């Protein structure tokens, strides 16, 4: 099996980032924060969580910047003061930062500067692979949430 190259990894991650963002297209904040599952997970909460995960993996783990304080239990809870545009904008900025970090890296085999709390020291290749899995997983959750919210299905 051949290794995926940087462009393939980034393009695949970007596809799923776009799916997640597209799931909120045409919704208002009330719809985007509707709790249609017993867990209380919302479409906007997924976007907020993925924003934090982007920064955790690319800024903290790969670059070694200080970690943000968050946990998986609260990362999906969107403050009442945060607008739909605020959360979507923060996600877009996090994705842009992550793309710039990947573009500036010398090699996909470059090790992370900081250990992930669970996975330890990894490589940029692993970070891209992991973020693709994480984003695709939540894109699937968003598919279900959007269908339960207004019946819309498909990639966007």
Q: Which two tokens stand for residue 3?
A: 């290794």
- Averaged over 122-150, what is the pLDDT? 97
CA distance 58 to 131: 9
Q: Does pLDDT of 134 surpass 90?
A: yes
**Six token digits for residue 148:** 């339960």
Domain-embedded: residue 122: yes
Q: Are 127 and 58 a contacting pair, CB within 8 Å?
A: yes
Question: Does the pLDDT of residue 3 top 80, yes or no?
Answer: no
Q: How far apart are CA 86 and CA 128, in angstroms?
A: 25
* Predicted structure pTM score: 0.94
CATH of the domain at 21: 1.20.120.450
Structural domain including 20 reads 6-150
Establish if 117 belongs to a structural domain.
yes
- 20-41 confidence digits (pLDDT tens): 999 999 999 999 999 999 999 9
* CB neighbours of residue 58 within 10 Å: 25
> Phi and psi for 120 in degrees, rounded to 5?
75, -155
First to last CA, the chain: 31
Q: Is residue 58 one of the residues assigned to a domain?
A: yes
Asked if residue 53 is part of any domain, the answer here is yes
Q: Classify residue 156: in a domain, yes or no.
A: no
> Which residues are CB-contacts of 28 (< 8 A; sequence separation ≥ 6)?
84
Place of tokens 């995926």: 4
Number of compact structural domains in the chain: 1
Residue 80 inside a domain? The answer is yes
At 28, give phi and psi (nearest 5°).
-95, 175
Residue 30 lies in a domain: yes
Q: What angle do CA 135, 139, 97 make, to 5 degrees?
A: 40
Encode pLDDT of 93-107 as tens digits.
999 999 999 999 999
């Amino acid at each position: 099996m051949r290794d995926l190259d940087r462009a393939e990894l980034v393009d695949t991650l970007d596809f799923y980032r776009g799916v997640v963002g597209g799931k909120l297209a045409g919704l208002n904040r009330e719809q985007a924060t509707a709790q249609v599952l017993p867990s209380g997970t919302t479409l906007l909460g997924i976007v907020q969580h993925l924003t934090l995960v982007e920064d955790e993996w690319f800024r903290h783990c790969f670059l070694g910047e200080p970690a943000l304080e968050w946990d998986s239990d609260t990362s999906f809870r969107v403050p009442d003061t945060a607008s739909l545009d605020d959360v979507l904008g923060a996600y877009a900025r996090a994705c842009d930062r992550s793309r710039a970090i990947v573009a500036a890296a010398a090699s996909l085999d470059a090790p992370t500067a900081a250990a992930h709390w669970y996975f330890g020291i990894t490589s940029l290749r692993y970070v891209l692979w992991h973020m693709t899995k994480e984003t695709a997983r939540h894109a699937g959750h968003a598919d279900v949430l959007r269908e339960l919210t207004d019946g819309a299905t498909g990639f966007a």
